[in-house]
A and B are shown apart, each in its own frame.
Chain A
Amino acid sequence: MSALLTVAHGIPALLAEGKDNPSADFSDTPLWITVIKALFIFVYLLVSTLIVIWFERRVIGRMQQRPGPNRNGPFGLLQSLADGMKSMLKEDVRPKAADALVFTIAPLITATMCFIAFAIMPMGGEVNLFGHRTPLQLTDTPVAVLLVLAIAGVGIYGIVLAGWSSGSTYPLLGGLRASAQMISYEIAMGLSLVAVFLYSGSMSTSQIIGAQKNLWFIVPAFFSFFVYVITMTGETNRLPFDLAEGEGEIVGGYFTEYSGMRFAMFFLGEYINMFTVAALATTMFLGGPLAPPGIAAINDGMFNEGWWGLLWFTIKLWLFMFMFVWLRGSLPRVRYDQFMKFGWKFLIPATLVWVVLVAFFRGAQNGWLGEGGVNFFGRTFPVASLALVGVVAVGALIVGWWWDSRAAAKEAAAADAPQSSIDPFAGGHPVPPLPGQTLAEPTRTAAAIRSEAVTDKEAIRG
Chain B
Amino acid sequence: MSNPYVPLFILLALGFGFAALSVGTSLVVGPKRYNRAKAEAYECGIQPSPRAEGGGRVPIKYFLTAMLFIIFDIESIFLFPFAVAFDQLGLFALVEMVLFIITVFVAYAYVWKRGGLEWD
Contact = CB atoms under 8 A, between A and B. Distances in A.
Interface of A: 19, 26-27, 29-31, 34-35, 37-39, 41-42, 46, 87-97, 104, 107-108, 111-116, 118-119, 138-141, 146-147, 164, 166-170, 172, 176, 179-180, 183-184, 186-187, 190-191, 194-195, 197-198, 201-203, 251, 256-257, 260-262, 264-265, 336-337, 340-341, 344-345, 348-349, 352, 355-356, 359-360, 362-363, 366, 368
Contact of B26 (A87, A168, A169, A341): A87
Nearest to A264: B22
Contact of A194 (B12, B16, B83): B83
Interface in B44-90: 44, 48-49, 51, 55, 58, 61-62, 65-66, 68-69, 72-73, 76-77, 79-80, 82-87, 90
Contacts of B101: 352, 355-356
Contact of B79 (A35, A260, A355, A368): A355
B8 interface: yes
A172 B51 CA distance: 11
Nearest to A42: B14
A336 B11 CA distance: 35
Given A88-B29, A92-B26, A352-B105, A115 B12 contact: yes
B32 interface: yes
Nearest to B12: A116
- SS class, residues of chain B in contact with chain A: helix
B26 A88 contact: yes
B79 A261 contact: no
B7 A257 contact: no
Contacts of A190: 73, 76-77, 80
Task: Provide the main secondary structure of the chain A interface.
Answer: helix
B92 to A, nearest CB: 9
Contact of A91 (B32, B72, B79): B32
Nearest to B70: A183
15 contacts: A26-B1, A89-B29, A91-B33, A93-B39, A96-B40, A97-B41, A112-B12, A115-B11, A172-B55, A180-B62, A251-B42, A341-B117, A348-B108, A359-B83, A366-B87
Contact of A108 (B16, B42, B79, B93): B16
A95 B41 contact: yes
A139 B62 contact: no
B86 A38 contact: no
B114 interface: no
B98 interface: yes
Contacts, number: 221
A93 B7 contact: no
Given A89-B30, A116-B8, A194-B83, A352 B44 contact: no
A177 B91 CA distance: 42
A361 to B, nearest CB: 10
Interface of B: 1, 4-8, 10-12, 14-16, 18-20, 22-23, 25-27, 29-33, 38-44, 48-49, 51, 55, 58, 61-62, 65-66, 68-69, 72-73, 76-77, 79-80, 82-87, 90-91, 93-94, 97-98, 101, 104-105, 108, 112, 117, 119-120
Contacts of A359: 83, 86, 93-94, 97-98
A118 to B, nearest CB: 7
B30 to A, nearest CB: 5
A344 B65 CA distance: 10
Contacts of B83: 194-195, 197-198, 355, 359
A134 B96 CA distance: 40
B13 to A, nearest CB: 9
A88 B18 CA distance: 13
B42 A256 contact: yes
A191 B76 CA distance: 6
Contact of A139 (B5, B16, B31, B72): B5
A314 B105 CA distance: 40
Contacts of B16: 108, 112
A201 B41 CA distance: 52
A92 B7 contact: no
Contacts of B20: 108
Given A90-B31, A168-B48, A260-B30, 20 more contacts: A38-B7, A42-B14, A46-B18, A87-B26, A90-B26, A91-B30, A93-B38, A108-B20, A138-B7, A140-B4, A141-B5, A167-B41, A176-B62, A180-B65, A198-B83, A261-B25, A265-B22, A359-B93, A362-B87, A368-B91
A461 to B, nearest CB: 34
B1 A29 contact: yes
Nearest to A96: B39
Contacts of A344: 68, 117
Nearest first, the 6 closest Cβ-Cβ pairs linking A and B are A261-B26, A168-B41, A115-B15, A197-B83, A111-B19, A337-B119
